[in-house]
C-alpha cells in the first residue's frame, strides 16, 4: 500500500512560495512569519514537493522555538515527511528530532506533552521511538489526564508496531496497572482498548472482575467493552459465552443510546437464538421510536432489514413495532418502513398490518401532512402489494381506496385505479361491489388518465343488466347534456372562448411537447397525454361539475375516444343481457348520439385544435361497429381485451417470480465452490483477531486496503508499449484502473551502455485526469531496468488521454534528451457498469439530462436483436426493456439501456432502429447524461463499435 496520507489542505497554486523564502522566514525570529512559513512548508509537502533542504533549517531554527503553534505545526511537518529512504530504512537524520521530542515529552506544558504523544501514535520508526520510550512511560503517571490519555494511546500504537513488543515488553502489565487506578473516562477507554488489542486475556479479566459495575462505567468505556465482547466471542467454542451475554444484557439498559445500539448489534453476533435476536430487534425498535434523527432511523431500519434476511421468523413478531415508525414525517423513513414491513407479511399478521395502513391512509386525508399525496401513494402501493400477496385482505381495503380515485394527487389516484383494475380481475368475488362503488364515485374522478382506466374497468367488468345500465347512465351523466356546444355559442366566440383560452393553451403547450413513450420512442400524439394537465379548471362555468365533459371540452379527445369505446362495449354487452330489444336499441342510439356529438365538437372551430386523427378514427370505428355488429367483433370487444389483460397480469407475476427465483439462486453456492471450514482455515501470518474479522474487513475495505486480485493473464493484455524498441530507453506500462484512480506501472529499461542520469518520467493528462505525485528523478545504470509507478486521479467518467516523455541526461551529452511516449488512452468502459433503475426514474432522468449525443446507426448487422446485443456487449450496459417486449419480428426495435459509472453518474441510452426494405438497419442511438463527458465518450465508443464484426 502507498504511504498513508494523514491530512489534506487546500493549496492554491497561485500562492506558491519558493523554498528559500520559506527558509528565510523560518530562520527569522518573527513568530508569526515562522508560523506562516511552517504552514506553507506543510502545504508544499502535501502538494508533492520534497523540500529536502528544509529539514536541516527546521531542525536548527524551528525545533528550539517555544511557540505552541509552531510546535504543533512542526509535529504535522514531521508527520508528513518521508521518514524512510527508498529502500525502506529509516533516514539517519530522524535521530535529530529525538532530543526535541524527548524535551517535549518532559515539557511543563501538559498540552505540548499531549500532542507530542499523539504524534507518536502515528510514528512507526522504531529507531526514533526507542529512545523516547522511558519518557513516554513516565507520562503514564502524570497528574494531568490529557497526558495520560495520550500516553496510553501512544503505548498502544507502539506496542502494535512490528517488533513493538520489544520496545515496551511489559506494556500490557503497565497499562493494566494504569487502568486499575485510572479515573478519567477517556484514559480508561484508551487503556482498555490497548488491552483489547494487545493483551486480550487481561482485558477480559478486567471486564469480568468489574462485571457488576459495568453499568456504571462511562459510555466510552462501555463501548470499548462491547467491542471487546464482540471480538472475543468471534473465536469459536466459547464456553463462557453466557457471561458475556449477561454483561451485554445489562448494558442494554445503559443511558447512552450509542451503547445500546452497539449492544444490540453485539447480541446478534453472539448468538442466533431467537431470544437474542428478539432482544436485538426490540432494542432497535425502541431506538427507532425514541430517536428523532432521520439518519439514525434509516440506519436502524437497515439493521432491522439485515435481521430480517437472517431471522425472518423472529422479525415477524416485531412488525407492528416497526410500523409505528411511520409516524416519522420523513418520506424516506416511511418508504423504508413499508418496504421492510411488506417483506415481513405472514397470513397471521397481514390483517393487522393492513388495518394499520388503512388508518394511516385515513390520516393522510386530514391534509396536515406535507407531501400527504406522495405518502398516500406509497401507502396505496403498499396495500396493493399486500392485497396481491394475500387476496383475502383486498376486500377490506379496496373500498376505502376507491375513495381516493378523485385524489388531487394524480399519481396516487393512478395507483389506486391500477390497483382496482388488478383486484377486480384477480378477485372476482369483489367485482359486484367494486363496480357498484366505481359507478358511485366515478363523478369524483378528475384526472384524465384515471378516468380512462376507470372507464375501461366500467366497460369491461359491468356484466349484469343493472350494472351495464348504471354504467351507461353514469357516463352519460358525466358527459352532461348534449350537444357539447350550440351553434350560437360557436358564433359568439368572444363570450365563451375568452375564459376558455388560458386552459386550452396550457393543454396545447403540454401536448405539443414531444413525449417519450415507455419504450423510449418519441410520441407527439395525444395518446400520450399522461395526465399532465391538472384536471381542475374547465371551460365555461356550466360544465364545472361534470368531469368527462370538462375534460373533453378542454380538448382531450383521447379520453373522448375512450368514452366512445366504453360506450360501444357497454352497448354490445347490453345487447347480450337485455331481453328487451327496444331498450338495447335505445341505449345504442344514445351512445351513437354521444359519439357524433364528440365528432362534431372535434371538427368544429369551437376548440382551437381539432380532433387528432387517431381519436377520430377510433370514434368513427365505434360508430360503424354499433351500426353494424357481428360475432367476430363482439368476441374481440367483449373477450379478447379481458384475455390480454389477464395475460399481462400473468406475465407480470411470472416475471416477478422469475426474479425472485433468480435472486434465490444467487445466494446459493455453486456445487463446485470451495468451502471454507472455519476451524481448518490456515492461520499462518494472521493473528486470532484478524481471522474472519468482519469489522476489520469492513475497515480495510473502507480504507482501500483491499486490492482486487487481478489475474496475471488479464494484466498482460493491458500492457502498452510506450516507446520503440530502438529507442535508447524502452518503456512499457501496465494500466490498472481502480475505482478512483489509474495506476501506471511503467517499466523503463536503459538500452544503452551508458548511465542515464536524472531520468524522469514526465506525464501530462487530458480530460478529467490529474497526476497525484510529481515525477522523481532516477539514475539508471547501463542496461538495467526500473519500475516506476504513477498514480493518476480520475474524477469523472470520461475518456482521458495520458501523454508523456522520458527525459534523461547522459554524461557526455550536456543537454537533456527526450523520448516521446505513445499516448495512453483510458477507456470509459472501465468505469461504467450495468445497472438497473425503474422505468419512471429512467424517463425522469431522460427528461432532465441536458447532454444528448445522437448517433446514427450505421452497421453491417442485419438483425435488430443482434444489433442490440452487440451494442449492449460493447458498451457494458444493461437493457431495461423486458425481453418480452422485444419479442417478435416486426422490423422495429426500441430499447432502453442503462449503466452507472463508479462516480455515481448515470448513462442512459435509447436505441430505436428500423429494418429497411433492403435489409439494412437504420435509426438512431441516443445517449443522454448529466455531464458532457459521458455522452461524448460513450457516443465515440458506440460509433467505433457499432460497425459490428468484433
Contact between 791 and another protein per CB under 8 A: yes
Residue 778's SS3 state is strand
3-state secondary structure of 741: strand
Closer residue to another protein (CB): 303 or 573: 303
CB contact at 8 A, 789 and 745 = yes
Residues making up the chain, counted from first to last: 950
Nearer to another protein, 466 or 691 (CB): 691
| Residue 450 near residue 405 (C-beta atoms within 8 A) | yes
Rule CB under 8 A: choose which of 49, 125, 127, 227 binds another protein: 227
Least gap, CB of 232 to another protein (angstroms): 15
Angle at alpha carbon of residue 916, lines to 915 and 922, rounded to 5°: 70
Q: Take residue 117 and report the three cell numbers written for it.
A: 504523544
Minimum distance from CB of 513 to another protein (Å)?
A: 24
Which residue lies nearer to another protein by CB, 333 or 416? 333
| Pairwise CA distance, residues 739 & 711, whole Å | 17
Backbone φ/ψ region at 948: left (φ over 0), alpha (ψ -120 to 50), beta? left
Name the CA radius of gyration of the chain, rounded.
38
Of 83, 148, 149, 926, the one binding another protein by CB under 8 A: 149
- Which of 597, 765 has the CB closer to another protein? 765
Smallest separation (angstroms) from another protein to the CB of 911: 26
Residue from 261, 730, 831, 849 binding another protein (CB under 8 A): 261
Smaller CB separation from another protein, 335 or 945: 335
Measuring CA to CA, which residue among 536, 532, 598, 591 is closest to residue 561? Answer: 598
Q: Which of 110/614 has CB closer to another protein? A: 110
Name which of 2 and 783 has its Cβ closer to another protein: 2
H helix intervals, 790-918: 839-848, 864-875, 883-886
Spatial separation of the C-alpha atoms in residues 454 and 471, rounded to whole Å:
11
Contacting another protein (CB under 8 A), which of 5, 87, 674, 814? 5
Find the binder of another protein among 702, 713, 838, 890 (CB under 8 A): 702
CA 826 from centroid of its chain's CA atoms = 25
- Using the contact rule CB under 8 A, the part of the chain among 85-93, 261-269, 353-361, 613-621 near another protein is 261-269
**Which of these segments, 288-296, 526-534, 713-721, 862-870, binds another protein (CB under 8 A)?**
288-296
Between vectors from CA 698 to CA 693 and to CA 701, what angle results, nearest 5°?
Answer: 125
Angle between the N-to-C axes of helices 171-181 and 145-160, in degrees from 0 to 180, rounded to the nearest 10: 150
Nearer residue to another protein within complex by CB, 432 or 902 = 902
* 262 binds another protein per the rule CB under 8 A: yes
> Peptide bond before 483: cis, by omega within 30 degrees of 0?
yes
For strands 892-901 and 832-834, give the pairing: antiparallel
The answer to whether the beta carbons of residues 730 and 751 sit under 8 Å apart is yes
- The DSSP call for residue 2 is P
| Among the listed residues 209, 657, 795, 862, the single contact to another protein using CB under 8 A | 795
Q: Are 777 and 748 in contact (CB under 8 A)?
A: no
Q: How far is the CB of 241 from another protein (least distance, A)?
A: 21
User: Which of these ranges, 7-15, 548-556, 600-608, 613-621, lies near another protein under the rule CB under 8 A?
Assistant: 7-15
Query: Which of 17, 51, 91, 299: binder of another protein (CB under 8 A)?
Result: 299
Q: How many residues touch another protein (CB under 8 A)? A: 81
Closer by beta carbon to another protein, 39 or else 586: 39
* 2 is a site residue for another protein (CB under 8 A): yes
Instruction: Give the nearer residue to another protein in terms of CB position, either 168 or 562.
Output: 168
Judged by CB under 8 A, does residue 905 bind another protein? yes
Residue 22 within binding range of another protein, rule CB under 8 A: no
* The only residue of 101, 105, 223, 894 in contact with another protein, by rule CB under 8 A: 223
Q: Does 193 bind another protein (CB under 8 A)?
A: yes
**Between residue 373 and residue 432, which ones bind another protein under the rule CB under 8 A?**
none
Output DSSP code: residue 398.
H
Could you tell me which stretch among 183-191, 272-280, 461-469, 529-537 binds another protein (CB under 8 A)?
183-191
Is 28 a binder of another protein (CB under 8 A)? no
Q: Comparing C-alpha atoms, which of 285, 355, 359, 272 is closest to residue 317? A: 285
Nearer to another protein, 335 or 865 (CB): 335
Q: Which is nearer to another protein, 118 or 843 (CB)?
A: 118
CB of 792 to another protein, least distance (A): 9
Residues 482-541 contacting another protein, CB under 8 A: none
Number of neighbouring beta carbons within 10 Å of residue 248 = 25
Q: Which three cell numbers stand for residue 483?
A: 350537444
- Residue in 95, 327, 603, 699 binding another protein, rule: CB under 8 A: 699
786 lines the binding site for another protein (CB under 8 A): no
Determine the interface stretch with another protein among 69-77, 495-503, 584-592, 829-837 (rule: CB under 8 A).
69-77
Which residues, numbered 327-346, are part of the site for another protein (CB under 8 A)?
A: 330-333
- Given a contact cutoff of 8 angstroms between Cβ atoms, the answer to whether 912 and 871 are in contact is no
H or E segment and range at residue 158? helix 145-160
Q: Does 115 bind another protein (CB under 8 A)?
A: yes
Q: Can you tell me the distance from the alpha carbon of 391 to that of 37, in angstroms, rounded to the nearest whole number?
A: 75
Candidate residues 150, 311, 384, 569; the one interacting with another protein per rule CB under 8 A: 150
Considering only residues 151 to 170 of the shown chain, the ones binding another protein according to CB under 8 A are: 153, 157
Residues 731-770 interacting with another protein (rule: CB under 8 A): 738-741
Residue 895, strand partner residues: 911
Q: Do residues 422 and 649 lie in contact, with contact meaning Cβ atoms separated by under 8 Å?
A: yes
Q: Which three cell numbers stand for residue 720?
A: 502498452
The one among 63, 121, 400, 463 contacting another protein by CB under 8 A: 121
**Should residue 645 be labelled a site residue for another protein when binding is judged by CB under 8 A?**
no
Residue among 220 and 515 whose Cβ is closer to another protein:
220
Contact code string over 73-112 relative to another protein, x by CB under 8 A: x--x------------------------------xxxxxx
Alpha-helical segments (H) within 694-823 = 694-703, 712-717
Provide, rounded to whole angstroms, the least separation between the CB of residue 195 and another protein.
15
Our finding on whether 16 is near another protein (CB under 8 A) is: no
C-alpha cell at 481: 347534456
Say which residues have a Cβ less than 8 Å from residue 877's Cβ, sequence separation at least 6.
832, 834, 871, 897, 898, 899, 907, 909
Nearer to another protein, 904 or 919 (CB): 904
| Alpha helix stretches (DSSP H) within 161-273 | 164-167, 171-181, 185-198, 200-209, 219-234, 241-251, 257-270
Amino acid at each position: 500500500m502507498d504511504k498513508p496520507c494523514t491530512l489534506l489542505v487546500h493549496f492554491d497554486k497561485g500562492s506558491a512560495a519558493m523554498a528559500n523564502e520559506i527558509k528565510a522566514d523560518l530562520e527569522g525570529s518573527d513568530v508569526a512569519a515562522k508560523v506562516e512559513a511552517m504552514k506553507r512548508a506543510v502545504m508544499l509537502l502535501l502538494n508533492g514537493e520534497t523540500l529536502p533542504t528544509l529539514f536541516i533549517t527546521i531542525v536548527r531554527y524551528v525545533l528550539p522555538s517555544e511557540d505552541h503553534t509552531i510546535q504543533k505545526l512542526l509535529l504535522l511537518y514531521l508527520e508528513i515527511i518521508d521518514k524512510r529512504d527508498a529502500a525502506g530504512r529509516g533516514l539517519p537524520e530522524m535521530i535529530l528530532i529525538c532530543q526535541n521530542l524527548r524535551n517535549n515529552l518532559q515539557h511543563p506544558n501538559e498540552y505540548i506533552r499531549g500532542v507530542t504523544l499523539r504524534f507518536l501514535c502515528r510514528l512507526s520508526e522504531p529507531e526514533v521511538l526507542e529512545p523516547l520510550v522511558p519518557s513516554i512511560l513516565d507520562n503514564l503517571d502524570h497528574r494531568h489526564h490529557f497526558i495520560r490519555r495520550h500516553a496510553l494511546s501512544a503505548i498502544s500504537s507502539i506496542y502494535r508496531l512490528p517488533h513493538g513488543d520489544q520496545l515496551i515488553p511489559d506494556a500490557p502489565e503497565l497499562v493494566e496497572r494504569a487502568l486499575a487506578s485510572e479515573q478519567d473516562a477517556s484514559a480508561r477507554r484508551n487503556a482498555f482498548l490497548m488491552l483489547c488489542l494487545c493483551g486480550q486475556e487481561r482485558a477480559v479479566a478486567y471486564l469480568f472482575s468489574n462485571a457488576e459495575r459495568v453499568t456504571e462505567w462511562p459510555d466510552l468505556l462501555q463501548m470499548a467493552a462491547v467491542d471487546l465482547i464482540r471480538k472475543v466471542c468471534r473465536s469459536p467454542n466459547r464456553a463462557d459465552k453466557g457471561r458475556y451475554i449477561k454483561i451485554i444484557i445489562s448494558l442494554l439498559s445503559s443511558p447512552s443510546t450509542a451503547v445500546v445500539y452497539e449492544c444490540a448489534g453485539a447480541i446478534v453476533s453472539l448468538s442466533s437464538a431467537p431470544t437474542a435476536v428478539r432482544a436485538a430487534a426490540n432494542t432497535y425498535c425502541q431506538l427507532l421510536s425514541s430517536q428523532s434523527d432521520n439518519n439514525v432511523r434509516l440506519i436502524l431500519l437497515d439493521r432491522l432489514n439485515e435481521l430480517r434476511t437472517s431471522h425472518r421468523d423472529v422479525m415477524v413478531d416485531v412488525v407492528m413495532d416497526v410500523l409505528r415508525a411511520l409516524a416519522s414525517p420523513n418520506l424516506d423513513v416511511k418508504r423504508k418502513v413499508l418496504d421492510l414491513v411488506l417483506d415481513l407479511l405472514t397470513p397471521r399478521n397481514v390483517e393487522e398490518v393492513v388495518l394499520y395502513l388503512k388508518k394511516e391512509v385515513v390520516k393522510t386525508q386530514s391534509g396536515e401532512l406535507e407531501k400527504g399525496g406522495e405518502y398516500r401513494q406509497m401507502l396505496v402501493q403498499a396495500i396493493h402489494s399486500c392485497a396481491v400477496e394475500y387476496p383475502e385482505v383486498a376486500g377490506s381495503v379496496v373500498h376505502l381506496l376507491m375513495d381516493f380515485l378523485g385524489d388531487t394527487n394524480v399519481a396516487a389516484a393512478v395507483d389506486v385505479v391500477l390497483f382496482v383494475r388488478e383486484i377486480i380481475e384477480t378477485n372476482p368475488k369483489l367485482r359486484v361491489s367494486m363496480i357498484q362503488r366505481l359507478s358511485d364515485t366515478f363523478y369524483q374522478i378528475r384526472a384524465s388518465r384515471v378516468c380512462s382506466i376507470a372507464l375501461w374497468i366500467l366497460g369491461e367488468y359491468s356484466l349484469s343488466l343493472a350494472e351495464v345500465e348504471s354504467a351507461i347512465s353514469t357516463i352519460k351523466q358525466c358527459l352532461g347534456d348534449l350537444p357539447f356546444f350550440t351553434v350560437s355559442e360557436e358564433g359568439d366566440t368572444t363570450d365563451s372562448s375568452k375564459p376558455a383560452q388560458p386552459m386550452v393553451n396550457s393543454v396545447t403547450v403540454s401536448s405539443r411537447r414531444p413525449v417519450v413513450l415507455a419504450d423510449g420512442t418519441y410520441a407527439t400524439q395525444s395518446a400520450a397525454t399522461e395526465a399532465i394537465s391538472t384536471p381542475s379548471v374547465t371551460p365555461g362555468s356550466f360544465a364545472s361539475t361534470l368531469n368527462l365533459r370538462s375534460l373533453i371540452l378542454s380538448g382531450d379527445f383521447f379520453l373522448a375516444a375512450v368514452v366512445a369505446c366504453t360506450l360501444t362495449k357497454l352497448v354490445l354487452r347490453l345487447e347480450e343481457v337485455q331481453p328487451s330489444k327496444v331498450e338495447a336499441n335505445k341505449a345504442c342510439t344514445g351512445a351513437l348520439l354521444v359519439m357524433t356529438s364528440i365528432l362534431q365538437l372535434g371538427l368544429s372551430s369551437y376548440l382551437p385544435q381539432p380532433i387528432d386523427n387517431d381519436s377520430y378514427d377510433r370514434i368513427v370505428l365505434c360508430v360503424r361497429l354499433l351500426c353494424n355488429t357481428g360475432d367476430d367483433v363482439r368476441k374481440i370487444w367483449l373477450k379478447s381485451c379481458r384475455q390480454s389483460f389477464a395475460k399481462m397480469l400473468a406475465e407480470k407475476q411470472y416475471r416477478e417470480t422469475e426474479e425472485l427465483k433468480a435472486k434465490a439462486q444467487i445466494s446459493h453456492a455453486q456445487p463446485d465452490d470451495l468451502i471454507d471450514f472455519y476451524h481448518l482455515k490456515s492461520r499462518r501470518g494472521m493473528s486470532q483477531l484478524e481471522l474472519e474479522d468482519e469489522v476489520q474487513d469492513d475497515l480495510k475495505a473502507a480504507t482501500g486496503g483491499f486490492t482486487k486480485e487481478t489475474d496475471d493473464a488479464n494484466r498482460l493484455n493491458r500492457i502498452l508499449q510506450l516507446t520503440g524498441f530502438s529507442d535508447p530507453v524502452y518503456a512499457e506500462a501496465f494500466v490498472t484502473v481502480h475505482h478512483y484512480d489509474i495506476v501506471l506501472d511503467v517499466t523503463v529499461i536503459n538500452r544503452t551502455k551508458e548511465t542515464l542520469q536524472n531520468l524522469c518520467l514526465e506525464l501530462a493528462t487530458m480530460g478529467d485526469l490529474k497526476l497525484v505525485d510529481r515525477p522523481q528523478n532516477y539514475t539508471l545504470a547501463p542496461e538495467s531496468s526500473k519500475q516506476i509507478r504513477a498514480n493518476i486521479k480520475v474524477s469523472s467518467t470520461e475518456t482521458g488521454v495520458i501523454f508523456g516523455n522520458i527525459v534523461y541526461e547522459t554524461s557526455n551529452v550536456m543537454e537533456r534528451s527526450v523520448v516521446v511516449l505513445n499516448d495512453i488512452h483510458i477507456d470509459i468502459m472501465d468505469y461504467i457498469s450495468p445497472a438497473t433503475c425503474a422505468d419512471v426514474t429512467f424517463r425522469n432522468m431522460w427528461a432532465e439530462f441536458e447532454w444528448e449525443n445522437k448517433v446514427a446507426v450505421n452497421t453491417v448487422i442485419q438483425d435488430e436483436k443482434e444489433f442490440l446485443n452487440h451494442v449492449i456487449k460493447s458498451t457494458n450496459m444493461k437493457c431495461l426493456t423486458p425481453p418480452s417486449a422485444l419479442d417478435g419480428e416486426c422490423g422495429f426495435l426500441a430499447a432502453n439501456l442503462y449503466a452507472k459509472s463508479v462516480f455515481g453518474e448515470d448513462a442512459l441510452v435509447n436505441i430505436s432502429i428500423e429494418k429497411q426494405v433492403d435489409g439494412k438497419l437504420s435509426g438512431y442511438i441516443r445517449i443522454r447524461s448529466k455531464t458532457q463527458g459521458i455522452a461524448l465518450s460513450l457516443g465515440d465508443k458506440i460509433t467505433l463499435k457499432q460497425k459490428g464484426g468484433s
